[in-house]
Amino acid sequence: MAFLVILSVCLFDVQNLTVQDNSNTIIPDLIPYRKGDKWGFVDKDGKEVTPFKYDKVSYMHDGSAKVELNGKHGFIDKNGTEYREE
């Protein structure tokens, strides 16, 4: 009898399971993408937003990403505007 009660509880729990919806996945404004030996950024549809000219890039965080070009460092915003460090 105890086995039947445990089995019933397990079956009830399985019936109440739901599949997690991934609609809350956050997609960054710009996605780093490499073409040849240079990096650039594309949007979520794969459209080129910046030219593929950077030696190094980081992921977008809080609306900007760190970039390196010819040994000089700077940032790029989600619109593709460059801000160079002095």
Of 6 and 57, the structure prediction assigns the larger pLDDT to 57
- Does the predicted TM-score (pTM) go above 0.85? no
The more confident residue out of 79 and 74 is 74
pLDDT tens profile 39-48: 999 988 899 9
Say what the pLDDT of residue 22 is.
56
Backbone angles phi, psi at 42, to 5 degrees: -120, 160
Mean pLDDT of 42-62: 92
Lookup: tokens for 61: 């965080």
Instruction: Provide the pLDDT for residue 78.
Output: 86
